[in-house]
Amino acid sequence: MTTATQKTRTVRLAQTGQALALVIRQIEDERVSVDAYFLTPIADGYLLTKHDGTKYTTRLGETPSCTCPGGRFHGHCKHAESLTALQERGKL
């Protein structure tokens, strides 16, 4: 039987020049990954843009959603969860 791996995630906002960036750091097993997304406000959320041009639309509110693969296929993702956590803490 395989055991589920534990993920630890931290999130912060970083100011880069005039742009605001969402930085998500995730540790799973012994692997560390860091993703950064430039944030562009939209009516009910944010457009997230990675350095490679990948874009996701993340909507906040009562039922957060995201256009990333996780959001589309699983109904939740690190983008929506991270932005919601920052919003709840008054950071957005």
Model pLDDT for residues 28-84, shown as the tens digit of each residue: 888 999 999 999 999 999 999 999 999 999 999 899 999 999 999 998 899 999 999
DSSP state letters, 48-92: EE-TTS-EEEEE-SSS-EESSHHHHHHS--HHHHHHHHHHHTT--
Give this prediction's pTM: 0.87
* Token pair of 7 as six digits: 């993920």
Residue holding tokens 């880069």? Answer: 16
* Cα 86 from Cα 4, distance rounded (Å): 27
Q: Does pLDDT of 2 surpass 80? A: no
Straight-line distance from the first to the last Cα atom of the chain, in angstroms, rounded to the nearest whole number: 42
Residue 13 near residue 86 (C-beta atoms within 8 A) = yes
Within 10 angstroms of residue 65's Cβ, the number of other Cβ atoms is: 19
